[in-house]
Amino acid sequence: MKTFITALVAVVGLTVTSTPVDAGGRHHRVEITSGHFQTLPGGDAYDIRGGAVMFRSDRHGGFTTVIVHIRGLEPNLSYPTHVHNQPCSFDPPGGSHYQNVIGGPADAVNEIWPTISTGQRGGGFGFATHADRARNDAMSIVVHNPADTKIRLACLDLT
DSSP-derived 3-state class of residue 72 = coil
Q: Is residue 21 part of a domain?
A: no
Residue 54 scores a pLDDT above 70:
yes
Number of domains present in the structure of the chain: 1
Task: Kindly write down the DSSP assignment for every residue of 90-144, as one continuous string.
Answer: SSSTT-SBP-SSTTS--STTTS----EEE-TTS-EEEEEEESS---TT--EEEEE
pLDDT at 24: 57
Contact present, 155 and 39 (Cβ < 8 Å)? no
What is the reported pTM? Answer: 0.84
Residue 47 scores a pLDDT above 50:
yes
Q: Is residue 94 part of a domain?
A: yes
d(CA 93, CA 153): 10
pLDDT at 31: 95
Contact present, 17 and 31 (Cβ < 8 Å)? no
pLDDT at 15: 40
Burial readout 32-51 (b: 16 or more C-beta within 10 A, e: otherwise):
bbbbebebbebbeebebbbb
d(CA 143, CA 26): 37
Read off φ and ψ for residue 48, nearest 5 degrees.
Answer: -85, 130
Q: Is residue 24 part of a domain?
A: no
Q: Is residue 80 part of a domain?
A: yes
- 74: domain CATH number? 2.60.40.200
Q: Is residue 22 part of a domain?
A: no
pLDDT at 20: 53
Dump pLDDT digits (tens) for 65-93. 999 999 999 999 999 999 999 999 999 99
The rounded Cα 112 to chain-centroid distance in angstroms is 8
Residue 58 scores a pLDDT above 70:
yes
Residue 27 scores a pLDDT above 50:
yes
d(CA 101, CA 62): 15
Contact present, 5 and 34 (Cβ < 8 Å)? yes
Q: Which domain holds residue 98?
A: 2-8+35-157
Q: Is residue 47 part of a domain?
A: yes
Q: Is residue 20 part of a domain?
A: no
Grade residue 125 by pLDDT with cuts at 50, 70 and 90.
very high
